[in-house]
Amino acid sequence: MLLLTPQSLAPFVTKATGLDVSDNMVEEYNKSVREAGLSGKMAARKGDLLAETLSDDMLSTDLFDFDLAIVSMSLHHFADPAMAVKRLGERLKEGGAFYIIDFVPTDHHDL
């Protein structure tokens, strides 16, 4: 399994914002960031981009205009992956990149 840890991303970013619906995952990521001494550069927060109505926090301007969006080993957990991709893509600046790292079901081996 490929994990994008704070240490693996730090040399390549000026700022990273993690987003997860799980308090536990946000806490674990932020713990890793603190332990790596990267708190000024990276942080995760709780948020749900698949909510029917997005909260004010999810509409915050600091969650838009990203150069890069990465979904790593989690898209297969989303109830509506297409909506997740759409909403994340809308947060990229023009010319931004979107990377998805995940499993492909074996019955889709020809993709």
pLDDT tens by residue, the chain, 111 residues: 345 678 888 999 999 999 999 999 999 999 999 999 999 999 999 999 999 999 999 999 999 999 999 998 889 888 999 999 999 999 999 999 999 998 876 775 555
Angle at 83 between CA 92 and CA 64, to 5 degrees: 25
Q: What are phi and psi of 64, to 5 degrees?
A: -135, 170
27: CB partners within 8 A, 6+ apart: none
> How far apart, in whole angstroms, are the C-alpha atoms of residue 40 and residue 14?
10
Determine the pLDDT at residue 1.
Answer: 39
pLDDT digits (tens, 9 = 90+) for 49-69: 999 999 999 999 999 999 999
Residue 52 near residue 18 (C-beta atoms within 8 A): no
CB 29 within 8 A of CB 3: no
User: Is the pTM higher than 0.85?
Assistant: no
- What's the count of helices (H) and strands (E) in the chain, helices before strands? 3, 4
List the end-to-end C-alpha distance of the chain, in Å, as a whole number. Answer: 20
